[in-house]
């Protein structure tokens, strides 16, 4: 397999180039003004490592996979086009009213506590750009009021005259009967034709979310319309670069559902948070090959700290209230947490809280970046603290291609942090590290404990450029942290082992278990018909991408609950279709088992009956997975990999010490590095503080543990499954 995997982060663009059994990694600064520039830079670097030009490399590449933060960035910047929304008359204010707790959507816990200053998010569509059209369909799909086409044309012209450059259409119960939404699109095409300069993109809500939930469905359509043109422009530039240099294969985008699909089969909202999900899926697949069933995936990048969990060899944990930026949406998204904490996070004094030192969530990004980049940045960041403390070599950063200005970093921390706090520069830099690592550690504890698990039952994968540098501080409650040679580009590595996946969803209210009679469903067609419909759609989509549907793995997941309860649980159905009482019993048993494990056997309410609320079909085309080499363990002595020493400040002792420096690539299986020490890799530095040890295992991976337990086996629960 010859493939290219790209992960575009806020600071760096990462590449993993797979060439049969060889994997080449590269990084380049992200270019926010035009992402295709950074894309071509990192691609050129990877090609040069193979002794080829981009024009020689790309014609032989079979597949390109791309994880992007374009959707996230455009929402943060609010740089989308002016939108218009057509909805059912009388429901024009639905998205402005929102759900009851809309003001908390997408906010941090610390922000929610200060209720007095909370507001709902500024709407992406103002009230004057929302028009209600005369039509009505009921919950059974029956047309109660025919569509008034002249009213549609009149309202449409008003929106366009108001400046609309894209139209979202969301009518009541359109997912049950989409005829009116489809006719509105035809009218828009009649009025504003595709070959005219003023072409209007149109997004229909039933096509992006085919299930119940007016607010969530409408907001998904609005977000898709808002993001579509921005992502299209960014992707077109990248796509053009690929074609110009001879690439003729598929271009896949990473989805927040855990798979990837052709750019032509991807809606904008599904690319949101693609990078963190790629890292999570990489942790899942690579964790499986290592025998780990319970993994905490932690990614410390330049802008954010991303966190995900693999529990009992499964990532099938979806966001209960999926949020994109500040809005709840209706698409299924794997559970991942992102917070503003990374190498570029800015340290600042909060005068409103008595001069307290805080780090983040604001980031210096890639331009101007940290002060030590010497590109015009003036605000001290986490990376500046790492340089000042001696953990990052100013001459070795970014594999020696990006010299850092340590003096400017010292000056910035001294002026803006140390003097106001009345401490030394070293103490101020150590405080910056301590605060950001505590923030990360709190996020891990919160995520693990709130799901009912214990950190000691997991292993921690530390990746991203800053993961190995900070994991000793934020991973204290997890006994073993695993550091990969490809840690700085792990999300791109994760996308290289992700499967191609399409997800289809429909809302269906089906009585599966009668509470009075305890009889299981006998109308099998009520279950099978929507499954067949979604499978047919999936087969058509795979064929259009040049893939064989017969090689796909087809699975069904069900949103189910007991009567008298409101908590819906998504469960994995053991069967694609139901054809007998035994089949129905197998599906119910799977539901009861997962429901009991998630909530408690005591809340199983069979007398209330069991209901299906929604059906999800997944079409998965497996891809080639990473095979990790196995080596014999040798001597514990790491002296052959030592490349020198560097003075570094260690908070554990409160002073500077001449610390040994080792090359990660020269350490061999069995080697053990005891702290204090620094282990340098191509694009990162592993910080081994006093009391910690780094051991190289048989796969060439670094295991960071407490010195007294160094070399111990990974906790059994991480291999066998965690207990709630």
pLDDT digits (tens, 9 = 90+) for 217-228: 999 999 999 988
More confident residue, 675 or 527: 527
Asked whether the CA dihedral 17, 23, 28, 30 is positive or negative, the reply is positive
Cβ(470)–Cβ(687) below 8 Å: yes
Backbone angles phi, psi at 414, to 5 degrees: -65, -45
Q: Tell me the CATH number of domain 500-621, given options 3.90.640, 3.30.420, 3.30.1490, 3.40.50.
A: 3.30.1490
Of 343-352, 374-383, 405-414, 704-713, least confident by mean pLDDT is 704-713
Most confident of 36-40, 205-209, 429-433, 544-548: 429-433
Residue 589 banded pLDDT, cuts 50, 70, 90: very high
Q: Kindly indicate the confidence band of residue 261, based on its pLDDT and cuts at 50, 70 and 90.
A: confident
Q: Which of 102-116, 264-278, 315-329, 543-557 has the lowest mean pLDDT?
A: 102-116
- Sign of torsion, CA 362 368 369 370? negative
CA 270, CA 37: separation in Å to the nearest integer? 24
Does residue 276 contact residue 257 with C-beta atoms inside 8 Å? Answer: no
User: What's the distance, Cα to Cα, between the start and end of the chain in Å?
Assistant: 40
Around Cβ 117, how many Cβ atoms within 10 Å?
Answer: 6
Cα–Cα distance measured from residue 353 to residue 204, given in angstroms and rounded to the nearest whole number: 47
- Please state, in angstroms and as integers, the Cα–Cα distance from residue 201 to each residue in 74, 83, 175, 571, following that order: 17, 10, 20, 36
What is the structure's pLDDT at 264?
A: 80
Per-residue pLDDT of 530-564, as tens digits, reads 999 999 999 998 988 888 999 999 999 999 999 98
**DSSP-assigned states of every residue in 74-116:** HHHHT----EEEEEETT-TTHHHH--TTGGGTT--HHHHH-GG
Q: What is the pLDDT of residues 48-67, one digit of tens each?
A: 999 999 999 999 998 899 98
Confidence of residue 312 (pLDDT cuts 50, 70, 90): confident
| Measured distance CA(463)–CA(471) in Å, rounded | 9
Predicted confidence band at 421 (pLDDT cuts at 50, 70, 90)? Answer: very high
Least confident of 10-14, 175-179, 403-407, 700-704: 10-14
Mean pLDDT of 120-147: 93
The region of weakest confidence among 29-38, 128-137, 454-463, 580-589 is: 29-38
When pLDDT is cut at 50, 70 and 90, the band that residue 717 belongs to is: low
**What is the mean pLDDT of the segment spanning 10-31?**
86
Residue 368: per-residue pLDDT: 85
In this prediction, residues 400-429 reach a mean pLDDT of 94
Query: Does residue 361 have a cis bond before it (omega within 30 degrees)?
Result: yes
Residue 215 binned pLDDT confidence (cut-offs 50, 70, 90): very high
Q: Is 66 helix (H, G, I), strand (E, B) or coil?
A: strand
Per-residue pLDDT reduced to its tens digit, 158-199: 999 999 999 999 999 999 999 999 999 999 999 988 776 678
This prediction's pTM: 0.86
- Cα 308 to Cα 716: distance, rounded to the nearest angstrom: 20
User: In the predicted model, is pLDDT for residue 723 greater than 80?
Assistant: no
- Residue range 624-664, pLDDT digits in tens: 887 888 899 999 999 999 999 999 999 999 999 999 999 99
User: Which residue, 218, 320, 205, 223, is CA-closest to 270?
Assistant: 223
Q: What confidence tier does 145 reach under pLDDT thresholds 50, 70, 90?
A: very high
Domain boundaries, the chain: 76-232, 345-435, 500-621
Q: Can you name the residues that pair with 85 across neighbouring β-strands?
A: 130, 168
């Amino acid at each position: 397999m010859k493939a290219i995997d790209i992960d575009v982060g806020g600071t760096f663009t990462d590449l993993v180039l797979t060439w049969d059994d060889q994997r080449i990694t590269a990084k380049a600064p992200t270019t926010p003004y035009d992402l295709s520039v950074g894309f071509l830079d990192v691609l050129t670097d990877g090609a040069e490592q193979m002794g080829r030009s981009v024009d020689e490399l790309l014609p032989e590449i079979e597949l390109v996979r791309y994880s992007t933060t374009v959707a996230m960035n455009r929402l943060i910047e609010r740089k989308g086009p002016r939108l218009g929304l057509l909805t059912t008359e009388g429901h024009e204010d639905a998205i402005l009213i929102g759900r009851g707790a809309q003001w908390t959507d997408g906010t941090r816990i610390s922000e929610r506590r200060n209720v007095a200053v909370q507001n709902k998010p500024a709407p992406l569509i103002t009230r004057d750009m929302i028009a209600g059209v005369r039509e009505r369909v009921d919950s059974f799909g029956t047309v109660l009021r025919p569509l008034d086409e002249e009213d549609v044309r009149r309202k449409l012209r008003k929106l366009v005259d108001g400046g609309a450059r894209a139209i979202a259409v969301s009518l009541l119960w359109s997912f049950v009967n989409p005829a009116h939404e489809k006719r509105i699109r035809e009218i828009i095409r009649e009025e504003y034709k595709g070959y005219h300069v003023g072409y209007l993109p149109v997004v229909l809500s039933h096509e992006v979310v085919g299930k119940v939930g007016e607010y969530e469905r409408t907001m998904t359509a609005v977000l898709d319309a808002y993001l579509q043109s921005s992502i299209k422009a960014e992707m077109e530039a990248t796509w053009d670069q690929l074609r110009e240099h001879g690439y003729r294969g598929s271009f896949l985008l990473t989805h927040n559902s855990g798979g990837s699909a052709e750019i032509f089969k991807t809606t904008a909202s599904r690319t949101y948070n693609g990078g963190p999900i790629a890292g999570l899926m990489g942790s899942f697949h690579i964790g499986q090959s290592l025998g780990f069933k319970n993994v905490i995936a932690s990614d410390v990048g330049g802008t954010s700290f991303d966190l995900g969990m693999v529990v009992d060899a499964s990532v099938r944990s979806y966001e209960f209230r999926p949020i994109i930026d500040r809005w709840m949406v209706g698409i299924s998204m794997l559970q991942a947490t992102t917070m503003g904490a990374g190498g570029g996070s800015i340290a600042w004094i909060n005068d409103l809280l008595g001069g307290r030192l805080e780090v983040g969530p604001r980031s210096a990004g890639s331009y101007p970046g940290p002060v030590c980049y010497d590109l015009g940045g003036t605000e001290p960041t986490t990376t500046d603290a790492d340089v000042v403390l001696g953990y990052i070599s100013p001459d070795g950063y970014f594999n020696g291609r990006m010299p850092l200005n340590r003096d400017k970093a010292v000056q910035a921390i001294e002026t803006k942090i140390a003097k106001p706090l009345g401490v030394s520069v070293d103490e101020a830099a150590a405080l910056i590290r301590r605060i950001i690592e505590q923030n990360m550690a709190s996020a891990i504890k919160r995520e693990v404990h709130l799901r009912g698990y214990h950190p000691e039952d997991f292993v921690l994968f530390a990746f991203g450029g800053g993961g190995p540098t900070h994991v000793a501080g934020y991973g204290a409650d997890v006994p073993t942290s695993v550091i990969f040679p490809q840690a700085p580009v792990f999300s791109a590595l994760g996308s290289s082992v992700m499967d191609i996946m399409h997800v289809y969803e429909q809302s269906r209210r089906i009585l599966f278990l009668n509470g009075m009679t305890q009889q299981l469903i006998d109308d099998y067609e009520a279950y099978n018909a929507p499954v067949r419909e979604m499978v047919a759609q999936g087969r058509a989509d795979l064929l259009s991408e040049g893939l064989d549907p017969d090689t796909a793995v087809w699975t069904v997941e069900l949103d189910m609950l007991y009567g008298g309860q409101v908590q819906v649980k998504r469960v994995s159905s053991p069967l694609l279709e139901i054809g007998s009482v035994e089949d129905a019993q197998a599906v119910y048993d799977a539901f009861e088992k997962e429901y009991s494990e998630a909530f408690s056997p005591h809340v199983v309410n069979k007398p209330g009956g069991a209901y299906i609320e929604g059906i999800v079909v997944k079409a998965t085309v497996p891809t080639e997975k990473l095979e990790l080499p196995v080596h014999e363990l040798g001597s514990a002595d790491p002296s052959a990999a030592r490349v020198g020493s560097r003075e570094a400040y260690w908070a554990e002792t409160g002073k500077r010490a001449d610390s040994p420096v080792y090359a990660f690539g020269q350490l061999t299986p069995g080697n053990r590095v005891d702290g204090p020490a620094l282990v340098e890799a191509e694009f990162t530095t592993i910080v081994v503080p006093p009391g910690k040890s780094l051991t190289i295992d048989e796969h060439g991976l670094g295991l960071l543990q407490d010195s007294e337990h160094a070399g111990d086996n990974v906790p059994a629960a991480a291999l066998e499954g965690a207990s709630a």
